[in-house]
Amino acid sequence: MKWIKLLTQNKIPYYIYKLKKEDFIILNKNTDNIIIILSGIIFITKVFTNKELLPIAILDKHNILITSNKETKTYYKIVSLEKAYILTLNKYNLKKSTTGILIEIELLNNYNKTISNYEAMNNIMSQKKIKNRILQLIFTICLQFGKIESQRILIPFKLSNKNIAILTGTSENTVNKIIKRIYKQGIIKERSNKIISINNILNLNLNLNLK
Mean of pLDDT over the chain: 81
36 vs 13: CA distance, rounded Å? 14
The yes-or-no verdict on residue 67 having pLDDT over 60 is yes
- The answer to whether the beta carbons of residues 204 and 187 sit under 8 Å apart is yes
- The pLDDT assigned to 98 comes to 62
Lowest mean pLDDT among 15-24, 108-117, 187-196: 187-196
Q: Which of the given ranges, 81-90, 144-153, 200-209, has the highest pLDDT on average?
A: 81-90
Using DSSP, how many helices (H) and how many strands (E) does the chain show?
7, 12
Please say whether the dihedral angle defined by the alpha carbons of residues 135, 175, 81 and 31, taken in this order, is positive or negative.
Answer: positive
Average pLDDT over residues 19-33: 83
Architecture of domain 2-100: Sandwich (2.60)
- Average pLDDT, stretch 97-103? 64
Please tell me if the domain spanning 2-100 has the same topology as the one spanning 127-203.
Answer: no
pLDDT-based confidence at residue 134 (cuts at 50, 70, 90): very high
DSSP bridge partners of 85: 18, 39
Domain residue limits, the chain: 2-100, 127-203
- Indicate the range of 46-55, 157-166, 181-190 predicted with least confidence: 181-190
What pLDDT is recorded for position 72?
65
Can you give the pTM of this predicted structure?
0.80
Residue 34 has pLDDT above 90, yes or no: no
Would you say domain 127-203 falls under CATH 3.40.50.300?
no
Residue of 78, 18, 20, 19 whose CA lies nearest to 45:
78
